Amino acid sequence: MPQKDIIRIKNASFYAYHGVASDEQNLGGKFEVDVEIHGDLSASFDSDELTETVNYELVYSFIKNAVTSRKHYLLESLASGIARGLLKEFQIIDLVKVTVRKPHPPVKGVVDYVEVEIVEPRS
């Protein structure tokens, strides 16, 4: 199998209303998303055409909509929705890794963040 090319979007930040506790659902908080897109981008190397690769502005827009348009109880559900949606939306993607972070989660202790990482291959 040939080496796949990778596009990464790091630390996209959004204010949203995800979590199990009612305060999280009502007051909201900051969420951070990393996306790693794997696919064959070689057609764009010589053509230098955006249509031959993954338009990361559209990917960012998709992520923003996924994070801000619907409430999730679990980070796992949010991350999986982003991963599956990107695979459906962009046929050039062979595999996507999505990491969702919640800074300063409501736990009884000092924690910088909690994160969930989902890896979803095209089936």
Name all domains of the chain by residue range, CATH numbers in brackets.
5-121 (3.30.1130.10)
d(CA 6, CA 8) in angstroms, rounded, equals: 6
Q: The pTM is what?
A: 0.93
Find the catalytic residue in 10, 64, 102, 108.
102
Residue stretches of the chain with pLDDT short of 50:
1
User: Other C-beta atoms within 10 Å of 75: how many?
Assistant: 21
d(CA 86, CA 35) in angstroms, rounded, equals: 10
d(CA 87, CA 48) in angstroms, rounded, equals: 23
pLDDT digits (tens, 9 = 90+) for 93-117: 999 999 999 999 988 999 999 999 9
Q: Check: CB of residue 78 under 8 Å from CB of residue 85.
A: no
Does the annotation count 64 as an active-site position?
no
d(CA 6, CA 59) in angstroms, rounded, equals: 13
The reported pLDDT for the residue numbered 3 is 64
Q: Check: CB of residue 36 under 8 Å from CB of residue 96.
A: yes
Q: Which amino acid is at 45?
A: F
